[in-house]
Amino acid sequence: MKITSLLIISASLIVVPLTAQNTHRQAPAGFDVANIGIPHGKIDSIQYPSKTVGVTRKALIYTPPGFKKGNKYPVLYLLHGIGGDEKEWYKNGTPQIILDNLYAQGKLTPMIIVLPNGRAMKDDRATGNIMAKDKVEAFATFEKDLLNDLIPYIENKFPVKKDRDNRAIAGLSMGGGQTLNFGLGNIDKFAWVGGFSSAPNTKEPQKLLPDPAKAKNLKLLWISCGDADGLMPFSKRTHDYLAQNKIPHIFYIEPGGHDFKVWKNDLYIFSQLIFKPVDKSTFSDFTVLGLPAESNIRNAQYPQIMPNGKAIFRVKAPEAQKVQIDLGKKYDLTKDSDGVWKTTTDSLSEGFHYYSMVIDNVSVADPSSKTFYGMGRYASGIEVPFAGDGYYAMKDVPHGDIRIQNLFSKVTNSWRRVFIYTPPGYDKNTAESYPVLYILHGGGEDESGWAMQGKTNLIMDNLIAEGKAKPMIVVMPDANIGPAGFGSFGDRNLQMFDKELKESVIPFAEANFRIKKDAANRALAGLSMGGIYTLHTGVQNYNMFSSLGVFSSGWILPSLQEVADKEYKFMTDNQSQINSNIKNFWISMGGKEDIAYKNCQVMMKKLDNLGIKYTYSEYPGGHTWPVWRNNLYNFAQLLFK
């Protein structure tokens, strides 16, 4: 579906330009309209001998206004799509008009542009079945023709600079795929690479750049695509790989589909960036639009995440008087004439964020977002990707299952829900029993937290597939029991949860799933509130668990001083048994910005004084799900070994 409501972006949403270029983020009206009152460049047809193909081939060449044979010029090789030839850009993209206008405004470095036929075969016409095997293969053959025949001809016949720093390649669709394949495959030949709406001929990123660090030698790597283009996944997968490997590049997302309106805009922007100094530190600020957040409902285009981590929100509420987004910090939205409210946030930290939409002072869920139980209610959530999130990505590996079960608790005299992860092969390997990790959510969340926000199944699937963790069952119970608020950390709740786990959750899990029932094959972990429950139940029952994971937690002082003193007294009296039985007492924190950090440091000093053995780990990110996902990733690798 083409989205038209953000075709005009307010000035407040336009990001800061590259310091060396004063380019627009989108081409202004009239950029592709011929202006007779300015100097013009020249388009000529050339022919060059191709040893690769065995014939003389045709290309077009554009020389800039004021072209002089006594000067030396950089060169841009500009490639067409699968249904075109050397004249496609000339007929449909009017590069000569776009560039003439830019030269008249003093926005371009004088350059020569070569428009070749990228179908390297004897009959290279765009006729008949353009998808025929030999014609498609000819686009790959063009790499040799370009490097061994066309470039040497241009450098022999025209006054061009012959080093890589003065050689660029760009193209649209099929030509965009060629551009990435040839440009990234020959970084010693090209310093400027621009893929516009790259087609499926683009190689998979790992084949495109098996050594991604080499791409850091590029002056500019540009990847662009229209937000309504069905080929967006091919550009995004390349962008994701580059981002994961911290390769500077521009990922430019613009309004539009797979057409020359988009590609003419790409040429307008890209041509202004090449053969000039660029500030790579600002590349992530360059785009116009973002990509729909992973946490959106199906087909929802907003919220969008931009490469720099900013988020674009919008909602249609024509009768509303005031609309805000509450992400901890509140952002005011502005309304357009169609009753659509929109805003762009500051850069958000990586990972998962709860948020609310506030309409006329009433907090509601965003209708475009999935909802998650957090903050004591169902709230919207937005996921900001980052380079280190591959360990919970959906991958082509064997997958386990998340099962939702109901159990009746005699402790609470009520039905309770539990989420249970079973590893790949559980239903086939019916003779096999598995170790088990019981993992607890935090305050304001419920049993769905680790399955939904925590991505437990993906983390475990990937770890098991890589041989980094033993296949195990993960049980995610509802830890909400007794009074809410700080009362949930008191003696009564701690004892109730201890009883609930031992008398309801564990017996239910062991009766209904093939779980090994000894302490060596049983672990307990939890985050925040769940970490406090783990400290109590895990330590008090040191003969039941071989591993304890305490994530972003510690006794809250001074409010829980009396509780903490009782726990430390128990540890003092049972120090040798605790150290003997608990093989992995793993404590982790989200750095100094974690709200539990100070309490945890006090607790660990006390554990040191008591001689309790533990391991401490930090992962930056505060009191957030990216931290706890990473905690599970690392803790699971220690278990049952």
* Mean pLDDT of the 514-532 span: 97
Task: Report the distance separating Cα 549 and Cα 530, nearest Å.
Answer: 10
Question: pLDDT band at residue 4, thresholds of 50, 70 and 90?
Answer: very low
286-317 as b/e: b if 16+ CB within 10 A: bbbbbbbbebbeeebbbbbbbbbbbbbbbbeb
> Which residues sit opposite 253 in a β-bridge?
225, 289
Could you tell me whether strands 250-254 and 220-226 are parallel, antiparallel, or unpaired per DSSP bridges? Answer: parallel
CB 553 within 8 A of CB 531: yes
pLDDT tens-digit series, residues 566-618 = 999 999 999 999 999 999 999 999 999 999 999 999 999 999 999 999 999 99
Q: What three-state secondary structure class fits 256?
A: coil
Question: What is the pLDDT at residue 489?
Answer: 67
Helix (H) or strand (E) holding 418: strand 414-422
Residues with Cβ within 8 Å of residue 424, at least 6 apart in sequence? 397, 398, 399, 400, 461, 464, 465, 471
- 263: closest CA among 194, 326, 330, 309? 194
Name the residue among 537, 493, 544, 539 with its Cα closest to residue 521. Answer: 544
Q: How confident is the model at residue 11 (pLDDT cuts 50, 70, 90)?
A: very low
pLDDT in tens, 86-123: 999 999 999 999 999 999 999 999 999 999 999 999 99
Q: Residue 553: pLDDT above 70? A: yes
- pLDDT score, position 483: 62
pLDDT of residue 193: 98
Give 65's pLDDT tier (boundaries 50, 70, 90).
very high
Using the CB atoms, write b or e for 18-30: b if 16+ within 10 Å: beebebebbbeee
pLDDT at 484: 58
pLDDT digits (tens, 9 = 90+) for 239-284: 999 988 999 999 999 999 999 999 999 999 999 999 999 999 889 8
What is the pLDDT confidence band of residue 25, given thresholds at 50, 70 and 90? confident
Residue 197: predicted pLDDT: 98
Alpha-helical (H) ranges within 162-249 are 174-185, 205-208, 232-244
Mean pLDDT of the chain, nearest integer: 92
For tokens 């060169």, the residue is 75
Closest residue by Cα to residue 463 from 512, 401, 397, 402? 397
Q: Are strands 473-477 and 414-422 parallel, antiparallel or unpaired?
A: antiparallel
Residue 3: pLDDT over 50: no
Residues 310-367 pLDDT 10s? 999 999 999 999 999 999 899 999 999 999 999 999 999 888 999 999 999 999 999 9
Q: The pTM is what?
A: 0.81
pLDDT at 487 (0 to 100): 52
Amino acid at 288: V
Give Cβ neighbours of residue 396 (< 8 Å, ≥ 6 apart).
Answer: none
Q: What is the percent of the chain with per-residue pLDDT over 70, rounded to a whole number?
A: 95
How do residues 418-454 score in pLDDT, each as one tens digit?
999 999 999 999 999 999 999 999 999 999 999 999 9
Residues 220-239: pLDDT tens digits?
999 999 999 999 999 999 99
Residue 12 has pLDDT above 90, yes or no: no
Three-state SS string over 44-55 comes to: EEEEEEECCCCE
Contact 78, 95 (CB under 8 A): yes
Mean pLDDT for the stretch of residues 368-375: 91
pLDDT class of 18 with cuts at 50, 70, 90: very low
**pLDDT confidence of residue 23:** 55
